[in-house]
Chains A and B, each alone.
Chain A
């Protein structure tokens, strides 16, 4: 693989300066944040590079255990932000992400799809956890919006004698569907519109396109399944918090 030298990397400043000068020219007021976010991104990536080098030098179970835990906590914290106002949002997203990670990893290892090596497990888990984090956040947000928009319908269902689970059925269905749609769409156009990041990385790293797509298939299908499971767990647990024990609809405050 061709190495990008530090000097070549510095030329990236040109690319940063384009949006910055546009911001000046059009008075967009985002030049500071453009510089700051680019700088932060570079530092973050270098830091991760060194951390990964360190992790890969450790025993596999240590490296994987440590970094996957860090990823799970950060992802759960991020997803829980979208679930502001919902009790136990952090723990709920944390547990569902753990379930997903354990499930996916067991299948990968059991069926010899990838070996239990930090270099393989960490980046692939990162993709699964990252996508599931987005799905959890969306599921939280969607639930809150649906419960507020469909308040009248839920009250109507309750007043007809429905239990919370029956009254929330339509909302749960909509939430799960909504969180699956982006993946359904991206699977339909995968490779046609944009080569997925992982596949691009493998090809750049010297892998043959056919080997690269094998990995991509594993990751894309695993992500699809995990996102659906995640949205399902979040929806099936979260709807209960919108009712009290007397099957009365609660008003939820909070949110962004």
Chain B
């Protein structure tokens, strides 16, 4: 397995000297207290912000050497809020592909199928959807770009149990069947342990621990992680 993302000594106002690698085709969970820099870290990976120091590589190439919209297409994000655009579900799904004139309605149906929504949803106004449905559309909208890496910023935290289960199934499918790489911030420690192959623990802007999820959860080495896991 080779690293798809490498972060070397990255620093900005919220993140301090962070170093890690993400292996291709794995699901990495990111845990840590609120305000520990998890979201700031994710924003750096697809250049929604830039670090003050340090370097980030995607597939061995410095991220600043990619055309920025191509990088963002390859490294997609799903945020905690769906942030859907006004209009129909189809308007949202085709937003990314339309930027490259690659949209066709068959794609819309298969995307909805992935997030287990029926085809009729394509013509529904997004305002008429429930919170869980909106977030599923947001997932599908990001998947419409066919990203290699998926960044999830608390993307399941506002969902009901049933939708969380559906989303977790989808994530496992994306990693195991489609070979996607997923980096997932979550406050739900059970979810982090259940889904992750690797886990990063952020605390006060620093990456305090990283490693295999099982090992990290069973044998935390730092006091901060021990305290955090004990709740």
Contact = CB atoms under 8 A, between A and B. Distances in A.
Interface of A: 152-153, 155-163, 166, 170, 246-249
B85 A153 contact: yes
B47 A160 contact: no
Contacts of B72: 158-161
B177 interface: no
Interface string B75-90: 0110101011110000
Contacts of A247: 68-69
Interface string B85-124: 1100000000110011000000000000000000000000
Contacts of A246: 47, 50, 68
A115 to B, nearest CB: 48
A152 B81 contact: yes
B49 A248 contact: yes
Contacts of A162: 69, 95, 99
Interface in B115-168: 138, 141-142, 145
B29 interface: no
A245 to B, nearest CB: 10
Given A159-B72, A161-B145, A249 B48 contact: yes
B230 interface: no
B46 interface: yes
Contacts of B180: none
Given A159-B46, A249-B48, A152 B76 contact: no
Contact of B73 (A153, A161, A163): A161
14 contacts: A153-B83, A155-B83, A159-B46, A159-B48, A160-B96, A160-B99, A160-B142, A161-B99, A161-B100, A162-B95, A163-B69, A248-B49, A248-B50, A249-B48
Nearest to A159: B77
7 nearest CB pairs, A to B: A152-B83, A161-B69, A156-B83, A160-B96, A161-B73, A159-B77, A161-B72
A248 B48 contact: yes
Contact of B95 (A152, A155, A160): A160
Given A160-B73, A162-B95, A170 B81 contact: no
B54 to A, nearest CB: 16
Contacts of A152: 79, 81, 83
B79 to A, nearest CB: 7
A246 B46 CA distance: 11
Contact of B48 (A158, A163, A166, A170): A158
